[in-house]
Amino acid sequence: MRLRPYAPGEEGRLADLWYESWRSVGLARPVVTREQLAERTRLELSGRWTVTVAEVGEEMVGFLALALAEDRLDQLFLAPAYQGRGLGGALFEVAVRRMPTGFWLSTQAENRRARAFYEQRGMSLDRVEYDADGDRVFYVFPATGAEAVSLPAS
């Protein structure tokens, strides 16, 4: 496996990977369509995200999207065939190194696999926000340096 920065022109590959990974989560109802993720990918890459891609050979098998100005791990997704092989942990470590003052993230409350993954890596549940469209959980990762990040208010 190789980790590298996202390269311009890979928007489609990134959106396809994101969608396939999201579908594998097994939530009761889909949250987004492939088209919505493709559009969001284009928007987020225009200035908000810093993306690290995981490759095996020439195949893009995972990605990490950080919103550094927000101290947020925004997205971490792996192709279904590569889940459970340590690639997610390697991408998570990139977030730890890039945001030593700590960071936060949110995910669907029913996404048990992601929640277990983040908890195993030392993230703590901060709060749950209840919503008719699906409850969200918010996690924080502690600072590895001297100054801690604060989670935005709901």
Residue 152 lies in a domain: no
Report helix, strand or coil for 30. coil
How far apart are alpha carbons 5 and 60 in whole angstroms? 12
Residue 17 lies in a domain: yes
CATH number of the domain at 51, please. 3.40.630.30
Tell me how crowded residue 22 is: count the other CB atoms within 10 A of its CB.
18
47 is written with which tokens? 């200035």
Domain ranges, residue 137:
2-141
| Number of structural domains found in the chain | 1
Residue 146 lies in a domain: no
Query: What pLDDT tens digit does each residue of the chain (154 aa) get?
Result: 899 998 888 888 888 888 887 777 666 555 677 787 778 788 887 888 999 999 999 899 999 999 999 999 999 989 989 988 899 999 999 999 999 999 999 998 988 989 999 999 999 999 999 987 778 999 999 987 555 555 565 5
Query: Euclidean distance between the first and final Cα of the chain, in Å?
Result: 37
Q: Name the pTM for this structure.
A: 0.84
Residue 150 lies in a domain: no
Phi/psi region, residue 9 (left: phi>0; alpha: psi -120 to 50; beta: rest), is left
36 is written with which tokens? 């919505």
